[in-house]
Chain A
C-alpha cells in the first residue's frame, strides 16, 4: 500500500476507535445526570443505583477514551504536520479552549467518582452537570476543527504564506453550528440507546424476576424517551447538515446521493451502489424530487451533479452507502422509540412483544454504527482535500516512513484495549449484579 493510504488508514483507525468511547463519554453523563435528577425528584432508589452503575461503566470507558484521544491529538501533528501548521496559525482556538473543557470534565469526574459519598446531593448534581458540559464542549470544539476543514474561513494563502488571519472568523466558520450540533445531539442519542439496549437485554434475561424486570424497564423507558427526543433532533439537524453541504461542498452531497447530472427536481436514491461507468446507482430505490426538496426546501432547487466537477475532485463513491445507512438508522430509531413509548405509556402494556425487545437490544449498536458511518462519510467524503479547496491531503502527509509498522502496532493495541475493556466491564457487572445494589440500598433504608 502506498504511504498516503497507510497514513490515512492509521489515522482513520485511531479516530474510528476513539469515537466509540468519546461518543459514550458525551452521551452517558447526560443519562447519569437524568438519573440523579429523577432520583432527587421521585426518591426512588432505583435511579440512584442506575446513576452509580452507569458512572462505574463510564469510569472504565474513560480509561480508553482518554488515551485514545491523546493519541488522536498527537497523531494529528505526527501524521499531518503540514496540516497542523495551518491549524496552529489559524484554528488554534478550539484546541486551546478544549483543554479547559477537558480539565473541567477530568476534575469533576474524579470528584464525582471518588468523593461521591462526601458530596451533598446538590453538589453531586452540580458535578455531573459539569462532567456532561465538559464532555459535550470537548466534542463540540474538536468537531469545530473538522467543520473548519470543510468550510475554511478566516485566512488567505498568498504565495504560500498565510495572511489576513482572523482566528474568530475561523472559529465561527460557516458550518460550525450545524456540524457541532449534529455531533452533540447524535452523541446524546447514542448514549441513551446504549442504555436502552442493555436494559432490554436484561429484561429478556429476567422475565420471571419481577423486581429486576421493573428496574430495567425504568432504565429502558429513560433510554427510549431521551433517545427518542435526541434522534428527532438529530434528524432535523441532519437535514440542515445536508443543506449545508448543498451550499458549501456540493460534490460531497452529489457523491452521497450518487447524482451525476446537475438538475432541478432531483431524485433521492435510497440504497444501491454507485457505478462510475454507467453513472447510475444500481439497485437503489428512487424517490422523485425529494433530493431537491431536502437541499433547498423546494422541488425546483437545482442540485449540482458530479459531472460538473473534474473527476480528480470526486470523493470516493462508496460514501453513498455510508450516508444511506446513517439516515436509515436515524429514521428507524425515531420510529422505534415512538412506538415503544406509545406501547408502554398510552396502551399501558406491561410487557413488550419479543420483536420489539430485540429491536431495542439492537438500538445502541445501531446508533454507534450510524456514528461511525457518519464520520467516515464526513472525513472520506472530503477527499482529496484535508482543507477544502485549499490544502490536499497528499501534500500534508508526513515524510517519515515506516507507517505500515505503526499501523500494525496501533491496531494491535486498540484490539487489546477493546477486548480488555469489554472483559473488564463484563467482569465487574457480573461480580456486582443489580440484586446486590438493590439489597444494599434496602439495608440503608433500614439503617436510616
Chain B
C-alpha cells in the first residue's frame, strides 16, 4: 500500500500528540488517584505533592486530548467518519467521566471542607478514564466493526470480552499508576520530601513489573486476536527488546544511591528511561500498525484530508509551535524548575 509523505507527516504528528497525551494523561489521572489514595495520611505530604503537580497542569493536559481529536478530524476526515460513528457509546462514556473528573478536581481544591468526598469522586472517575480511552487501540485492530447496509456498527460486547482488549485495559490502568508514581517520586525528590519520596518509590517498584507483565499479556493475546499486527510487530523486535532493556535501566536507577540527596534511587534517570521505554514500544506498535488506521478498511491514505487543507494546516503547525514554545518553557520554569514553588511546605 502506498503512503505519501504528506500522510506520513500527518500520522507522525497525530502519533506525537497521542504519545504526549498518553504520558501527560497517565501522570495526570495517576496523580489524581494517588492524591485520593493518600488523603488520610496527613503527615506524609504525599497528597499535597500530587496536588501541587496536578493543579497547574490538568488544563494543559486536557488541551492535548482536544488536539488529538482536532488532528484526527483535520488530517483524516475519512477515518473520523467511521470512528465517530462507532465510538458514540464508548466515547460518550469517556466524555461523561471526564466532565465529572475535571469538575470535581477543581471543586475539591476550592471547597476545602468537602475536599475528601470531592477528591474521591475525581480520583475514581479519573482512574477509569485511561482504561476506557485505550479501547480505541484494539478497536482499530479489526474484527469489532461490522458493516450492514453500508452502516458501521461496533460490536461492543465482543470488544469488552476480548482477552486482548482486556489486556489493553489492564495495561492502561497499571501504567497509569506506574508512570504517575514514578513521576511523583521524582517530584517529591526534587521537592525534598523524603517521606513522600519513599512512598512513591515503593509504589513505582510495585507497579512497574505489573505493567510490564500486562504488556506481555497484550502481546500474547494479540498473537491470536490480531495476528496481522503481531507478525508485523515482530519485524520490530529490536525496538521491543530495547524497550524492555530501558525498563531494566529504570529499575536499576531506582536502587542506585544518590550522593546529592543521600537517598536511595535516582528517580530522574528512571523517569527518562521509562519515557524512552514507552517511546520505543509505541514506535514499534505504531510502525507495525501502518498503513492501517482501522484494519482493514481505512488506511492513512484512504482517509486523508484534501492536500490543500493539509498544506495550510502544516504552515499553521509551524507558526503555532514557534509561538507556543516560549510559553511552554516559561510554564516549565514556573512549576517544574522553580525550587521555591516545589519546596513550599504547606499548600
Contact = CB atoms under 8 A, between A and B. Distances in A.
A85 B80 contact: yes
A437 B178 CA distance: 42
B56 A398 contact: no
A439 B69 CA distance: 47
A413 interface: yes
Interface string B36-49: 00000000000000
Contacts of A335: none
B103 A95 contact: no
Residue of B95, B106, B313 with most chain A CB atoms under a 10 A cut-off: B95
Interface residues of B, number: 73
A428 B103 CA distance: 15
Contact of B309 (A67, A165, A413): A165
Interface residues of A, number: 71
Interface in B220-257: none
Contacts of B80: 77, 81, 84-85, 88
Nearest to B89: A402
A340 B99 CA distance: 40
A113 B347 CA distance: 14
B92 A78 contact: yes
A192 B48 CA distance: 36
Interface string B141-154: 00000000001111
A16 B36 CA distance: 33
B25 to A, nearest CB: 12
Contact of A70 (B86, B95, B305): B95
Interface string A87-101: 111101101111110
B334 A115 contact: yes
B99 A71 contact: yes
A78 B84 contact: yes
Contact of A118 (B56, B62, B323, B340): B340
Interface string B108-135: 0011111000000000000000000000
Interface in A355-371: none
Interface stretch (A283-291, A345-353, A385-393, A419-427): A419-427
Contacts of B153: 400
A59 B335 contact: no
A81 B62 CA distance: 22
A402 B93 CA distance: 13
A63 B341 contact: no
Interface string A58-93: 011011101111110111011101101111111011
B313 A115 contact: no
A406 B69 contact: no
A89 B327 contact: no
A92 B73 contact: yes
Contacts of A409: 92, 96
Interface in B74-100: 74-78, 80-89, 91-92, 95-96, 98-100
Given A67-B103, A108-B327, A74 B95 contact: yes
A309 interface: no
A410 interface: yes
A441 interface: no
Contacts of B305: 88-89, 92
Interface in A97-118: 97-100, 102-104, 106-111, 113-115, 118
Nearest to A59: B106
A166 B86 CA distance: 30
A110 B102 contact: no
Given A84-B84, A88-B80, A102 B66 contact: yes
Interface string B295-324: 000000000011011001100110010011
A98 B331 CA distance: 19
A417 B104 CA distance: 8
A96 B313 contact: yes
A77 to B, nearest CB: 4
B278 interface: no
A406 B76 CA distance: 26
A421 B77 CA distance: 36
A420 to B, nearest CB: 6
A167 interface: yes
Interface in B179-227: none
Interface in A393-448: 398-400, 402-403, 406, 409-410, 413, 416-417, 420-421, 423-424, 427-428, 431
A106 B75 CA distance: 24
A108 B327 CA distance: 8
For A73, A78, A115, A406, the residue with the greatest tally of chain B CB atoms inside 10 Å of its CB is A78
A162 interface: yes
Nearest to A92: B74
Nearest to B317: A96
A194 B78 CA distance: 43
A167 B309 CA distance: 6
Given A96-B316, A107-B331, A400-B89, A63 B111 contact: no
A168 interface: yes
Contacts of A82: 81
Given A88-B305, A409-B96, A417-B99, A106 B78 contact: no
Most chain B beta-carbon neighbours within 10 Å: one of A79, A90, A400: A400
A98 B100 CA distance: 24
B20 to A, nearest CB: 12
Contacts of A69: 66
B1 interface: no
A166 B307 CA distance: 10
B65 interface: yes
A442 to B, nearest CB: 23
Contacts of A97: 316, 320
Contact of A424 (B59, B107, B154, B323): B107
Contacts of B272: none
Nearest to A432: B110
Nearest to B98: A67
A62 B56 CA distance: 12
B106 A166 contact: no
A363 to B, nearest CB: 26
A420 B107 contact: yes
B60 A63 contact: no
The list of the 3 closest CB pairs from A to B, nearest first, reads: A63-B106, A88-B77, A92-B74
19 contacts: A69-B66, A70-B98, A73-B69, A74-B91, A78-B84, A78-B92, A88-B77, A92-B73, A92-B313, A95-B73, A96-B317, A111-B334, A115-B335, A165-B308, A168-B312, A400-B153, A420-B107, A427-B111, A431-B112
Given A71-B99, A77-B73, A114-B55, 6 more contacts: A60-B106, A67-B62, A81-B84, A87-B73, A99-B67, A399-B152
